[in-house]
Amino acid sequence: MLGKSVGMTDSQIAAIKDWRTATVFSRTERAVLRFTDEIIKKGKAGARTVSALEKLMSHQEMMELTVAIGFYQLLAHILMTFEVDAETTAFKSASQIMGR
């Protein structure tokens, strides 16, 4: 699973859908999740969310996060359009490309 490959714990993976009430995420992780949710749902993060994240991340880190969110949105649209099962096809292919 992609989450495990970037260091998420089993508890975090299980709690991701209810991250707002979960106790397994750090302050920074919660700020990133809020930022991500707002961009996905509203097209941009609100001023309060951005301000809170600015206290925890550099401008460059926030830009990189925003690009990553956009990349995964694009990837999701491609996978849905072409009805690709991401778990069995896309990540398996990525693993093969990366030699894992």
The mean pLDDT of 63-91, rounded to a whole number, is 85
DSSP state of 22: -
CATH of the domain spanning 2-97, picked from 3.90.180.10, 3.40.50.150, 1.10.10.10, 1.20.1290.10 = 1.20.1290.10
Q: What is the pLDDT of residue 24?
A: 98
Q: What is the pLDDT of residue 95?
A: 55
Task: Name the residue with tokens 């778990």.
Answer: 87
The mean pLDDT of 9-27, rounded to a whole number, is 96
Q: What is the pLDDT of residue 99?
A: 59
Of 33-37, 46-50, 79-83, 87-91, the least confident: 87-91
Share of the chain above pLDDT 90, in %: 70
Q: Which SS3 state, helix, strand or coil, does residue 19 take?
A: coil
44/28 Cα distance (integer angstroms): 18
68/99 Cα distance (integer angstroms): 22
Residue 15 half-sphere exposure toward CB, CA atoms < 13 A: 16
